[in-house]
Structure 1
Amino acid sequence: MESPLVSIITVNYKQAQVTCELLDSIAKLSYPNLEVIVVDNAQPDDDTQLYRQHFEKVVVINKTENLGFAGGNNEGIKAAQGEYVFLLNNDTEIKGGTIETLLNCFTSPSVGAVSPVIKYFDAPDTIQFAGFTEINKLTGRNELIKSRPQPTGTVLTPYFHGAAVMIPRFVIEQCGLMPEDYFLYYEELDWSRMFREAGFELKVCMDAEILHKESISTGKNSPLKVYYQTRNRIYFMKRQKGQRNTAFLLFFLLLSSPKNILSHLLKSEFKHFRAFTKGVWDALILRKTGFVRV
């Protein structure tokens, strides 16, 4: 049976040891036709030799600026040679057989992307992701599905998970690269929307799993995370078609914002308060993109 070339792409940002742990797990895979690309964001030096101690043939792309999640992955996609690309967070670890199992899910040209089930690294019996719900038109939020809808096979999902997703090259060529305006968070939701509007199905494979060390880059409740999730939630909703924008903005400004501001102030989370208000301002007024210090 033919084994198509699969390009695993991961983005590193000042976490060389975490990335090396991912490379160690990739090195244990038996799949015979892999290309592995590390995009090193905001990297003043070249850590290629370090990475090659963990995966000998790794391709390293050093970028002096921080391109963010989307920009970094896009650099890897542009350099990749594979028939399939497999975007994999650097704070994940992969199990044997995952590549083969995901490839078997592409049973039709209409399948545009497949994510595995994602479990927590520190609690490997607990599911973090087995699909998404639709974005609520009023709140601009959705939910992770945290239990298997079925024991085996694939299920449809409105959005794939950016921490781990396999995509055929021809789908990216048809739909375009990941939107870079977001920099961090919500970009894979918008990319998923682009795939669906082009007529592709998005799936989660119940038979494949990866382990995720969640939020190592930004912290579980960091001001940086608050800023980007706030700004990009608004930006995402502004980009959607239909009448949802006005209803969402009224909900956000009249209900959600006062609630969040009061919560941060009552908890004396003043950095989080500033990050939230700056996120709202940038989304509604300044429309900044890229990395922003908060």
Structure 2
Amino acid sequence: MYSETKFPLVSIITVNYNTDEVTAALLKSLRGVTYPSLEIIVVDNASDSDCAYLKNSFPEILLIKNGCNEGFAGGNNRGIEQAKGDIIFLLNNDTEVDPGFIEPVVKLFMADQSIGIVSPKIHYYHSLGIIQYAGGEPINPFTARGKFIGTGETDNGQYQVPVKTQLGHGAAMAIRRTVFDKVGLLPEKYFLYYEELDFCVQAKNAGFSIWYQPHSLVLHKESMSVGKMSRIKVYYQNRNRLLFIRRNIRGLQGWISRLFFVLISAPLAMLRYIFSYTPRYATEIWKGLIWNLRNTSK
């Protein structure tokens, strides 16, 4: 058991956008959490509703209502600005949690002050016992793609040791407050997708390590706000992949990565969408390329 001095305040932040019922399911699961020093912040990104259901059903939360949709990064940043915790735990609203998921994360942070980010083990919510995340491999400097460890595997305890890893998972990422003090908030230029990967790179560059904590478990329903396949998802994933390259991959590798994406990866993806009779998705990739040409500042 932890002593009273070992319960630093943890601020859980989640962003809601037209998914009140999904957010409510997360909040219900958080009511069962065993960690005793906790605040919960819900940031509403200008949903169509007035969030009366959330306000009335969960009076324990701090509800922040944005005047416009600021995306994943901006929404979380508004919560971070109001959070009082020593540890900021970003949780997608389409997750649900194990009651004891916070204690193992706090234990890792307290073991080593150089640990800046901790992500728990993540299972797919709708596929019992199937892993989505058990750590992350480095971003490939040529393709700008990362890879999560264990994805799609049945959890037989094969990833049950806490380890230093390369990437946290944006659906469930606990961050020491001093990381924000040193590198700033999440980069809002991304709006949606890749911002957490960029933030992980900045944290590592600042001297912090990233850890995977398998004794903490989160269940992820995945893509409840934008859909598992949608025009907005295709647009931002492709637009932001190139933005990530521009911001983080330097020198010859950076130019090779740019050329690979613009001349090979993006055209092939557009052709796949065209030949699969979904040209609207090809249009979104093209729009993402044009955005990068028009927005040259990083």
**TM-superposition CA deviations, 1:145-180 (whole Å, max 9, x none):** 125795433112212111101112122112211111
Q: Are residues 159 and 206 of structure 1, via their aligned partners in 2, closer, same or farther at CA, if it must alter by over 3 Å?
A: same
Q: 1:183 offset after TM fit, Å?
A: 0.4
- Show the counterpart of 1:212: 220
- Show the counterpart of 1:246: 255
1:90 has 2:93 as partner: yes
For 1:21-32, list aligned pairs within 5 A: 21-32=25-36
Q: 1:72 offset after TM fit, Å?
A: 0.4
- More divergent stretch after superposition (29-38 vs 72-81): 29-38
Q: d(CA) in 2 for partners of 1:94 and 1:52?
A: 21
- Show the counterpart of 2:161: 153
For 1:183-198, list aligned pairs within 5 A: 183-198=191-206
Are 1:140 and 1:248, in contact at CA under 8 Å, matched by a contact in 2? yes
Are 1:44 and 1:64, in contact at CA under 8 Å, matched by a contact in 2? no
1:81 has 2:81 as partner: no
Q: d(CA) in 2 for partners of 1:258 and 1:232?
A: 16
- Show the counterpart of 2:235: 227
- More divergent stretch after superposition (232-241 vs 142-151): 142-151
| Matched-pair identity in % | 43
Q: d(CA) in 1 for partners of 2:129 and 2:48?
A: 38
Q: 1:52 offset after TM fit, Å?
A: 4.3
Q: d(CA) in 2 for partners of 1:54 and 1:275?
A: 39
Q: 1:43 offset after TM fit, Å?
A: 3.2
**TM-superposition CA deviations, 1:193-244 (whole Å, max 9, x none):** 1100110000110111100011111111211111001000001001123322
- Show the counterpart of 1:292: none
Which SS does the other structure have where 1:105 is aligned? Answer: helix
- Show the counterpart of 2:171: 163
- Quick one: which of 280, 283, 287 aligns to 1:271? 280
Using the size of structure 1 for normalisation, the TM-score is: 0.93
Q: d(CA) in 1 for partners of 2:225 and 2:238?
A: 17
- Quick one: which of 27, 46, 62 aligns to 1:59? 62
Query: What is the letter of the counterpart of residue 188 of structure 1?
Result: E
Q: d(CA) in 2 for partners of 1:43 and 1:76?
A: 16
- More divergent stretch after superposition (208-217 vs 166-175): 166-175
- Show the counterpart of 2:104: 101
Which SS does the other structure have where 2:39 is aligned? Answer: strand
Query: What is the letter of the counterpart of residue 186 of structure 2?
Result: M
Are 2:26 and 2:96, in contact at CA under 8 Å, matched by a contact in 1? yes
Which SS does the other structure have where 2:128 is aligned? Answer: strand
RMSD of equivalent CA atoms: 1.7
Using the size of structure 2 for normalisation, the TM-score is: 0.92
Which SS does the other structure have where 2:108 is aligned? Answer: coil
Q: 1:110 offset after TM fit, Å?
A: 0.4
Q: d(CA) in 2 for partners of 1:73 and 1:25?
A: 20
Query: What is the letter of the counterpart of residue 218 of structure 2?
Result: I
- Show the counterpart of 1:37: 41
Structure 1: tracts of 5 or more residues without a match: 290-294
1:260 has 2:264 as partner: no
Which SS does the other structure have where 1:239 is aligned? Answer: helix
Which SS does the other structure have where 2:105 is aligned? Answer: helix
Which SS does the other structure have where 2:166 is aligned? Answer: coil
- Quick one: which of 8, 12, 17 aligns to 1:8? 12
Q: d(CA) in 2 for partners of 1:174 and 1:76?
A: 18
For 1:122-161, list aligned pairs within 5 A: 122-146=126-150, 150-161=158-169
- Show the counterpart of 1:175: 183
Q: Are residues 44 and 218 of structure 1, via their aligned partners in 2, closer, same or farther at CA, if it must alter by over 3 Å?
A: closer
Q: d(CA) in 1 for partners of 2:94 and 2:194?
A: 18
